[in-house]
Amino acid sequence: MRGQAFYKALLHCYPAAFRDEYGNQMFLMFAEQLGEARRTGRPIDRAALWGRAAWDVLAIAPREHCHVILQDIRFTLRSLAARPGFAAVAILSLTLGIGANIAIFSLWNGLLHASLPLVTHPEQLAMLSDPASSGVWHGDESGDRDMLTWDEFEQLRDRATSFSALMASESSLDSWQLRFQGSDWEEAHGRMVSGGYFPLLGIAPAMGRLFTEADDRQDSPYAVISYDYWQRRFAGSPAVLGRSFTLRQAVLTIIGVAPRGFIGETFGQDPDLWISMRMEPQVVPGDDRLHDVPPEKAMWLHVFGRLKPGVKLARAEAESNAIFKAGLEQFYGGVASPERRKELLDQKLKARPAAGGASSARGDFSTSLSALMAAVGVLLLIACANLANLLLARGAVRRPEMALRLSLGASRGRLIRQLVTESLVLAAMGALCGLAAARLIFAVLAGMIAQGDQGFAMNFALDPLAIAFTLAVTVSSALLFGLLPAWQATRTDASAALKEQGRAGASLGRMRLGRSLVSLQLALSLPLLACAGLLARTVYNLQHVDLGYPRQRLVMTAIDSRTAGYNSERSAVLFRDLLERIKSIPGVAAVTYSHNGLFTGSNSSDLMLAEGYTPKGQDDTGSAWDFVAPNYFSTLHIPLLVGREILQSDDAAAPKVCVVNEAFARKFFGGRNPLGLHVTMIDESVAGRKGTAYQVVGVARNFRTNSLRDKANPRVSLPFSQPHADSVKRANYLIRTTSDSAAVLPAVRQAIQRMDASLPILYAQTLEERMAPWTAQDRITAQVAVVFGISALVLAAIGLYGVLSYNVARRRSEIAIRIALGAQPGGIIRMVLRDTSVLVLAGILVGGGLTYAASRWIASQLFDVAPQDPLVLTAAATVLVAVALGAVYLPAWRASRVAPMEALRQE
């Protein structure tokens, strides 16, 4: 008997429907076989019988489950096809919700968490430079070192024992003009790397060979190209190996192709080619970055190491620092002043895990992306609430059907399974469409990031984590919106429901659930709307922040005279001559130039002494400065509060003068008249400090040069021809135009070309174009937030409309009686609206709380607008109420038009 009971238990492995239908038969058959086997008395027969039963459970039962699921899916598809409107709305809102989630997740995951593609054991990689830094920094540093010099790298490479290998790469991606034999000049993006670059990353070539350590020790006029570039530029021809091209003063030969998908060591960049670091003197003529010559170091490299097995990051850091410090002591050994030497030696390296490689976009976007992740999560919640509501309403309509099936013996679990299958099928369709939508959204987002971070390139990739996320989102949303309505729809007393048939009846409980879902949707929409509003205000404020000078009709350009072989003296002449040429271009009202320009990313600051000011500590004597050409202030239209601006007459022979800004005057001169006082600029070279005094001849209004968010800092403008530090190396031209600025640009380019065709033009843009990257990240975040806010609003409106329409339909007879008894249409509308106002009010109250939390969370992203800005919050709430009222007005109006006799006759 125990055997039979056990077999009965085994039957539970089959789907309920199958068990209900055949369980008894199977049991009978098994009992008879068991009896037979007992009668033979051979244990082997019984064992064979149990073996077959076990086989059934393992092989047949799962097949039967699949069969039931397929049946449910077929049933679902048929029932969805019968209600295309419902299916379309459901799939569309899920597409939006799931698609946005996948896109933002992929970006978030890719940007912040993904490892470098194709690199072997990325978890063993460590970086000794700051992943977010890029560029070239000539001079000295203190504190944590951002980038390294070639000499420093070589010392580390040759002495460090914590790493199995080390390599260096140029921190910024260069934009180069190349010329292949028989072709015109063309642009390509590339970077210089040390010989150990490819071996350290564990990369094998797709074709040809890659660099090796040996390429660091001899001249190596070679290039390795990327797979994409090979396909794009050379149509994948094997003949590419051995082809040569000219790059500035170098002639380089292609020796290999990197494997497909390899992007190198910097995330978000997609170089076309890599060239050997040894070629730097020919590639960047006039700027030797391979040798540190006292007093200057050229810091421009990222350094990566592969940790030996078992070596901890901290140990590697300590060892690297010991080597680094020894190098510094040797380099700065000749510095006379012990105080200065101590300052110069106060530098250290920081070792960080580098599986994700370097990336500047990562730091910029991490906060925004986390906020957007939360926003898309909320959006999906709203979409799910909406679907739950639609399904609840459908559940009410299908109640008689459910009751009938229950009374015919279907188990409740079976019905719930059917309904949940419906939700899963919907969610799966939403996820499939969502994946397509995600690709689109992702491409748009990546494009937007590229606006702010030139050279940014990232492809949509479904890595295992993203796939897991997609599945999790799909299943959890299906359960979120499907389970509750399924529970409600089947929680029904069969006879009562059957009696109700024909009337659109629903229990109070179900109504309450639907209504609270709508309130929840409204509550969730409010923070999205409010944050979108706050971010939009931030962008507006940033785009309209007072620069201190008009931003219209200003064109800027810069030339790289050093690369073209100019020394300091010739450069100075070139700058002046070019100024005259540009001035004569029609449409140019005025022109000037400065060392750092505007919004170029270059900034200078030094220690200085202000006459009569006692510093309140060591860091209290700094000021930003720039060398400016004559008429700088009048060209830019920066008003002078007192005194005069820097003029043509302030040349090298004239007394040294300067113009300070308001912030400078207020901080260092207090209430005193600044005119005639002196500012002594301190130049800190290895040899020691050297002071140069400048007399203040004017005070200018505060103006912005590189930042939109920071408050104005002290700034001093020095004449271009009276430098206090090493000679001026570059000039950024600032050109005021009389009308359309963009129209002048071609003429400006022409003027430069005519001056010297070999002069590389670093950029030629209007100020507004130049500033676009400065607001790009805020703009992207705000645009995405606004789109999400509007989507949330639309979804919430659909939900509200659906529930109200249903509510009105349910109360048709009641309303009909009221109208028959003399109620006016206006009264009916008011009644319905009153009913709704509770929902909206509850939604706004809860939403207010959520908004408070959310806006504080994004406070650091905001500019010139308080997280609780009453205007934005009121506007968000008003929009929400207006849309809510719009969504309920139609059903209310319809209710007021109920024809009493017709409605009552239907009862």
**Binding interface with other proteins (CB under 8 A):** 14, 18, 21-22, 24-26, 28-30, 32-33, 48, 52-53, 55-57, 59-61, 63-64, 67
- Rounded to whole angstroms, the Cα distance separating 885 from 649 reads 70
The continuous run of DSSP H or E covering 735 comes out as strand 731-737
- Based on its alpha-carbon atoms, the radius of gyration of the chain, rounded to whole angstroms, reads 37
Q: How far is the CB of 52 from other proteins (least distance, A)?
A: 4
The two tokens of residue 233 are 């530029």
Burial 811-826 (b: 16+ CB within 10 A, else e): bbbebbebbeeebeee
DSSP assigned state of 154: H
How far apart are CB 77 and other proteins at their closest, in Å?
A: 18
Residue closer to other proteins (CB basis): 30 or 163: 30
CB closer to other proteins, 1 vs 508? 1
Q: Which is nearer to other proteins, 408 or 653 (CB)?
A: 408
Q: Which is nearer to other proteins, 75 or 852 (CB)?
A: 75
Bridge partner list, 557? 733, 764
Give min distance, CB of 44 to other proteins, in A: 13
Residue 45 or 296 with smaller CB distance to other proteins: 45
**CA geometry: angle at 396 spanning 395 and 400, to 5°?**
95
Give the shortest CB-25-to-other proteins separation in angstroms.
Answer: 5
Helix, coil or strand: residue 193 = strand
Q: In the complex, what is the shortest distance from the CB of residue 783 to other proteins, in angstroms, rounded to a whole number?
A: 54
Question: What three-state secondary structure class fits 301?
Answer: strand
The most distant pair of C-alpha atoms in the chain lies apart, rounded to whole Å, by 125
In the complex with other proteins, which residue's Cβ is closer, 13 or 465? 13
CB of 60 to other proteins, least distance (A): 4
Nearest CA-CA partner of 601 in 363, 774, 362:
774
Q: Please state the closest distance from residue 49 (CB atom) to other proteins, in A.
A: 8
Q: How far is the CB of 855 from other proteins (least distance, A)?
A: 59
3-class state of residue 411 by DSSP: coil
Nearer to other proteins, 14 or 324 (CB): 14
Query: In 308-408, where do the E strands start and end?
Result: 347-348, 352-353
- Please say which residue, 33 or 706, places its beta carbon nearer to other proteins: 33
Question: Which of 877, 786, 792 is CA-nearest to residue 378?
Answer: 792
Mind giving me the DSSP string for 74-134?
A: HHHHHHHHH-HHHHHHHHHHHHHHHHHHHHHHHHHHHHHTPPPTT-SSGGGEEESS-TT--
**Least Å distance between CB 48 and other proteins?**
8
49 versus 438: smaller Cβ distance to other proteins:
49
- Compare residues 19 and 138 and give the one whose CB is closer to other proteins: 19
**Which has the closest alpha carbon to 699: 720, 676, 722?**
676
CB 136 within 8 A of CB 300: yes
Q: What is the rounded CA–CA span in Å between residue 180 and residue 195?
A: 24
User: Closest distance between other proteins and the C-beta of residue 32, in Å?
Assistant: 6
CB of 65 to other proteins, least distance (A): 11
Q: Considering beta carbons, is residue 54 or 890 the nearer one to other proteins?
A: 54
Closest CB 50 distance from other proteins, rounded Å:
10
- Which lies closer to other proteins via its Cβ, residue 1 or residue 59? 59
In the bound complex, what is the minimum distance in angstroms from residue 853's beta carbon to other proteins? 55
| Nearest residue to 391 (alpha-carbon basis) of 459, 322, 486, 265 | 486
SS3 816: helix
Q: Specify the residue, 63 or 830, whose C-beta has the smaller distance to other proteins.
A: 63
Residue 520 is encoded by which pair of tokens? Answer: 């929840």
**Amino acid letter for position 125:** L
Q: Which is nearer to other proteins, 25 or 618 (CB)?
A: 25
> What are 550's two structure tokens?
């008009």
Q: Are strands 297-299 and 137-139 parallel, antiparallel or unpaired?
A: antiparallel
Residue 590: its H or E element: strand 588-594
Nearer to other proteins, 34 or 784 (CB): 34
∠174-179-181 over CA atoms, to 5°? 150
Q: How many residues does the chain have?
A: 907
Minimum distance from residue 14 beta carbon to other proteins (Å): 8
Shortest spacing between CB 12 and other proteins, in angstroms: 13
Question: Closer CB to other proteins, residue 39 or residue 616?
Answer: 39
Question: What's the token pair of residue 89?
Answer: 């709305």
Q: Which helix (H) or strand (E) holds 609?
A: strand 604-610
Q: Which is nearer to other proteins, 61 or 406 (CB)?
A: 61
Question: What whole-number distance in Å separates Cα of residue 704 and Cα of residue 518?
Answer: 48
Instruction: Give residue for tokens 């931030």.
Output: 538
Q: Which is nearer to other proteins, 30 or 267 (CB)?
A: 30
Closest approach of other proteins to the CB of residue 888, in Å: 48
- The minimum distance between CB 401 and other proteins, in angstroms, equals 23
Task: Report d(CA 477, CA 391) in Å as an integer.
Answer: 13
Rounding to the nearest 10 degrees, give the CA dihedral for residues 61, 63, 68, 73: 150
Whole-angstrom distance, CA of residue 160 vs CA of residue 469: 41
d(CA 274, CA 60): 59
- In 669-724, DSSP assigns E strands to 678-685, 688-700, 715-719
- Which helix (H) or strand (E) segment is 589 a member of? strand 588-594
Q: Which has the closest alpha carbon to 858: 784, 763, 747? A: 784
Closest approach, Cβ 66 to other proteins, in A, equals: 11
> How open is the CA angle 678-671-632, to the nearest 5 degrees?
50
3-state DSSP assignment of residue 497: helix
